[in-house]
């Protein structure tokens, strides 16, 4: 299947070379595009120096804007599958083929999960993941073990869903809406690495804000959206 890997990158100058090299070694059969989301560091210079495939955003649109840019490109270029792939080096391209295989098997969204075969640790960091997974289970009956994973594959129907609808960010709450649309979601076991350089935007304050937004959306917004 014609596959495009979309890599949103904001201030990933120290990580983006490793990320793209990982793709070129472990998944040379797929195409990729780095969406430089208005980075304030020298991410753009690194992309130019290495002659990577990229789209340069002149301002920071956030994860949704960056990923949606990639989805729109996928529609324009008639791709069958889009892989959402973080620019911080945490994801391994060796799992892309298994993700695509599950799309070929009839699934609409396939999530690279850390917890299909491994137990989720009882750590402060995983409290949010457990709460979101529990909320999704409560509202849909579907168990998603790693709802915050940013390593996902989408089929053509979902590419259209995410590219053309401003209410479909690639976040855990939107999975509730996709399940209501009868989209088939599957998880496969993957291993993820720790971020080597830089810091995640999810500090304590942002984590609380993120969790609050997810809970409100899962319980009060997604179940009542008109299914299109």
Q: What is the pLDDT of residues 168-190, one digit of tens each?
A: 999 999 999 999 999 999 999 99
Name which residue leads in pLDDT, 11 or 122. Answer: 11
Residue 43 has pLDDT above 90, yes or no: yes
Question: 2: which residues sit within 8 A by CB, 6+ positions away?
Answer: 31, 78, 79, 80, 81
117 Cβ contact list (under 8 Å, min separation 6): 189
pLDDT for the residue 7: 98
Residues 45 and 4: their CA atoms lie apart, in Å, by 23
Distance in angstroms (rounded) separating the CA atoms of residues 190 and 102: 14
pTM for this entry: 0.94
Give residues with Cβ within 8 angstroms of 138, minimum separation 6. Answer: none
Q: For residues 61 and 39, give the distance between their C-alpha atoms in angstroms, rounded to a whole number.
A: 10
pLDDT at residue 137 tops 80: yes
Q: Rounded to whole angstroms, how far apart are CA atoms 3 and 82?
A: 6
Cβ atoms of 85 and 7 closer than 8 Å: yes
> Is residue 108 over pLDDT 80?
yes
Type and span of the H or E element at 169: none
């Amino acid at each position: 299947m014609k596959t495009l890997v979309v890599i949103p990158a904001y201030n990933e100058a120290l990580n983006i070379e490793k990320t793209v090299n990982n793709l070129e070694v472990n998944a040379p059969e797929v195409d990729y595009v780095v969406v430089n989301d208005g980075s304030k560091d020298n991410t753009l210079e690194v992309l130019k120096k290495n002659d990577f495939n990229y789209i340069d955003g002149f301002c920071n649109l956030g994860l949704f804007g960056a990923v949606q840019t990639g989805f729109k490109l996928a529609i324009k270029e008639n791709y069958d599958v889009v892989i959402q792939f973080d620019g911080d080096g945490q994801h391994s391209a060796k799992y892309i083929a298994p993700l695509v295989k599950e799309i070929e098997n009839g699934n609409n969204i396939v999530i690279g999960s850390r917890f299909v075969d491994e137990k989720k640790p009882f750590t402060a960091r995983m409290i949010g993941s457990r709460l979101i997974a529990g909320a999704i289970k409560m509202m849909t009956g579907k168990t998603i073990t790693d709802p915050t994973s940013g390593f996902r594959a989408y089929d053509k129907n979902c590419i259209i869903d995410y590219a053309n609808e401003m209410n479909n960010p690639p976040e855990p709450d939107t999975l509730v809406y996709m399940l209501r649309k009868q989209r088939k979601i599957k998880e496969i076991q993957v291993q993820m690495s720790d971020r080597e350089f830089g810091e995640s935007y999810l500090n304590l304050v942002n984590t609380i804000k993120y969790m609050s937004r997810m809970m409100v959306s899962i319980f009060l917004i997604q179940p009542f959206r008109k299914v299109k």
